[in-house]
Amino acid sequence: MNKQSPWIGNLGSIAVTLALVALWQTISANKWILPVYLPSPAATLASLSEGFMQGELFKLTLGTIERMFYGWVLASLIGVAFGSLIGVSAVMRAWLQPMLEWLRPLPASSIMPVAIALLGLSPTMVLLVIAFGAFSPVMLATVHGFASIEPRLEEVARVLGLSRLQFILKIGLPNALVDAFAGIRLALTISLILAVVGEMLASQDGLGTAILQAARSFRSADLFAGVAVLGAIGFGSNRMLDFLERRLLAWKV
């Protein structure tokens, strides 16, 4: 089977995007949905341009990115650390399996009311909620990566007299990074979602609050502009993480 050229895939993606924008323009032009609910692409673009030129939208975007990034980094570091400690020991995996299975389906947003009760509507609350919600997939993926390590590598480590920490750093973690990055990628998406939800609930300056205010005042162009910026943040951060992953795991290819 011939491998598809990346250029063909990119052109296909652009074609689908343009088709969706054309459909959006058609619906808007014929007013099949009232403009107060669905603005035209031109109105959304004008709102984006005005927001960035005035600087307000740029400031809000930076606030959301900052919360997402700090929460994601915190969750990734703690998740990999805890996942490594649990994954390196079969006994700990067995003891903690019930807790891990309990964490797996737990909605990240479900702990937000608890965090509000304990910490109030503060930036710290939003950051900790993001970190907690994004922590679980990183930890579980890292544990799975350690559990999948070739048993003969553990025998080699024992023969070489490596300590538990040396095994984690020199053998375990490099082999578990492929699985860990799958969790880190998912954590990035969760971090963006929780940053927006946290801003909406805690009234913190960011795109979440701006989108909520635009919806309440029926400023559909501003609402869609905010959603478009969130989509761009998600797309751009995912591409940067993909580049980082390919660089760090180049030796796996």
Q: Where are the domains of the chain?
A: 1-32, 41-252
Task: Please state the rounded mean pLDDT for residues 211-221.
Answer: 92
pLDDT at 3 over 60: no
Does the structure show a pLDDT above 90 at 55? no
Second CATH level (architecture) for the domain 41-252: Orthogonal Bundle (1.10)
Cα four-point dihedral sign 202, 208, 212, 214:
positive
Cβ-count burial 125-143 (b if 16+ within 10 Å, e if not): bbbbbbbbbbbbbbbbbbb
**Count of CB atoms within 10 A of residue 108's CB?**
20
pLDDT at 251: 66
Kindly report, residue by residue over 136-161, the tens digit of the pLDDT.
Answer: 899 989 988 888 888 787 787 788 87
Give tens-digit pLDDT for 178-214: 889 999 999 999 999 999 999 998 888 899 999 999 9
- The pLDDT score that the predictor gives to residue 7 is 67
Residue 1 in this model has a pLDDT that exceeds 50: no
Q: What is the pTM of this model?
A: 0.87
Q: What is the largest CA-CA distance in the chain?
A: 74
d(CA 194, CA 134): 9
If you average pLDDT over residues 108-134, what whole number do you get? Answer: 85
Going by C-alpha positions, the residue among 137, 135, 143 that lies closest to residue 97 is 143
Query: What are the residues whose beta carbons fall under 8 Å from the beta carbon of 216, sequence distance 6 or more?
Result: none
